[in-house]
Amino acid sequence: MAIFRKVHVDIWRDAFFESLTPEQKFFFIYLLTNSKTTQCGIYEITVRQISFDTGYNEDTVQKLLDFFIKCDKVFYSSTSKEIAIKNWKKYNDSTSPKVKACVFKELKLVKDKVCIQYVNTINTISQEEEDQEEDQDQEGEKRGANELPPPNPPLTTPLSEQPLISVQLVPAQKKNARAEKFIPPTQEEAADFFVKIIGSPKKPGCWPSQKCQEQAGIFFNHYNANGWKQSNGLKLVDWHSAANNWVTRERSGNFTPASAPAAEPAAAVSIRTGAKDEREINYLYERWCEDETKVTVLGLDALQYDYLKRCGRIQFTNEDFAIAAAKAKKYLAEHAVKDSDKEETVQKFKKRFGILHFFAQMKAEGTETIFSDQSKCAVQQ
C-alpha cells in the first residue's frame, strides 16, 4: 500500500506560514512529509538524517529546528530523537478503524512519552468534523429546538486505550474544548510540572529538584512578563507544551548551562536571552546576505531591534529613522495588517524595517556577522 501524507491547501494562506522564509517553508514541509513520518504525528529522526535528506549542513538543520521549537510548532526529544508535530491530528485525523488501530500501535512504540503529552494538548478536531458539526447545527435550527440531534457515533476502541489520544466525539464537548479559556499556571504549578517531566530519577538525564525549581521560576517569570504570549505575539494555548519545549531546549544546550549559579537567577536569564538573540540575529543576517527575499519583515521580531539598540549596535541618525518609518508606513498601507491603525503595531513594524536597514548598513560595510566571539553584547557581562 502506498504511503502518503496530507498537506492542507490552506497552509499557503496561513498567517504563520506566510511569514516564513522560503528556506523555513521548505523545512516545515519536509517535517510534514518526509519518509520517517507516521500516522500519529510522532516519529524518530536524527539531525544527521535531516541534513542528508535536505542538503543542509547539521548546524543549519539545528537552527531551523530550534526556530520551529521556539514557535511551538514541533517538539523534539533530545534523548529519544523523536519529533512531535503540533496540529498533526487536526489535519490528519481519521474515523477509519484501521487508521485508529495504526495510531494506537504507533503510540505504544513512542519512547519519550512527553511527545504524546505534547500531541494530546492540542485541539484535535479535524476540519472534516468541524464542517460536519456546522452542518448539524444548521439542520438543528431548521428542525426546531425540540427535535433531538443525530446520535453520537459509537466508540470503536477499548476504553483502556483511549487516554493515548484525545478524540472528542460529542459535538457539545468539542465546542467547549475550543471555547475553553487559557488559564496561566501559578509558579508552584509550573514547578510541580517541571519536576514531573524531568525531575524523576527514572528519566534519563533527570534534573535535581533544585534545578527544576530554578528553571520553573525562570520559565514562569519569562512568560508572565510577556503576558503568556509566544514570540510571534500569539497567546499560548497550552502552557504545558511551552514548558516541554523549554526543557528540551535547555537540555540541548540552547539555554543556560546546567552549572549556572543558583543564587543569581536574573543573570542566568540575561545570559540565556542574550546568547539566543545573538544566534537568531546572526542567522537572519546570514540568510539576508545570501538572498534578501529569504528574510521577510514578518519573520523579524521587534524585540531583536531592542536588543541591537541596547547593545549599541544600532546607532541611527534622524535620516535612518525616517527611512525605516517611511517603509513601515508604506507596508502597512499596502498590506492588510491586523490593527495597523494602532500605535503599537506601527512601532513594531518601524523596528522590523529598522533591522533590515541595519542589515543593509552592515552589508555595505562588509560585515560578515553581527555578533562574533569578540563582539558579544556588554549586557551579558
Please give the mean pLDDT across all residues of the chain.
Answer: 76
Residues 197 and 338 in one domain: no
Residues 40 and 131 in one domain: yes
Residues 139 and 21 in one domain: yes
Cα distance between residue 148 and residue 235, in whole Å: 37
Domain for residue 163, yes or no? yes
Count of domains observed in the chain? 3
Domain for residue 138, yes or no? yes
Question: Which is more confident, 250 or 81?
Answer: 81
Domain for residue 128, yes or no? yes
Residues 326 and 366 in one domain: yes
Per-residue cell: 93: 485525523
Domain for residue 303, yes or no? yes
Share of the chain above pLDDT 70, in %: 74
Question: Which is more confident, 313 or 263?
Answer: 313
Domain for residue 4, yes or no? no
Give the model's pLDDT for residue 375. 56
Question: pTM for this one?
Answer: 0.37
Give the model's pLDDT for residue 182. 80
Give the model's pLDDT for residue 139. 60
**Confidence category of residue 326, pLDDT binned at 50, 70, 90:** very high
Domain for residue 244, yes or no? yes
Residues 336 and 363 in one domain: yes
Q: How many CB atoms lie within 10 A of CB 18?
A: 13
Residues 38 and 141 in one domain: yes
Cα distance between residue 203 and residue 218, in whole Å: 22
Closest CA to 88 of 135, 128, 36, 32: 32
Rounded to the nearest 10°, the torsion over CA 67, 125, 219, 18 is 30
Domain that holds residue 246: 187-263
Which of 132-136, 154-158, 216-220, 347-351: highest mean pLDDT? 347-351
What's the whole-number mean pLDDT along residues 19-43?
90
Residues 314 and 374 in one domain: yes
Residues 56 and 21 in one domain: yes
Domain for residue 1, yes or no? no
Identify the sign of the CA torsion 351, 353, 356, 361. Answer: negative
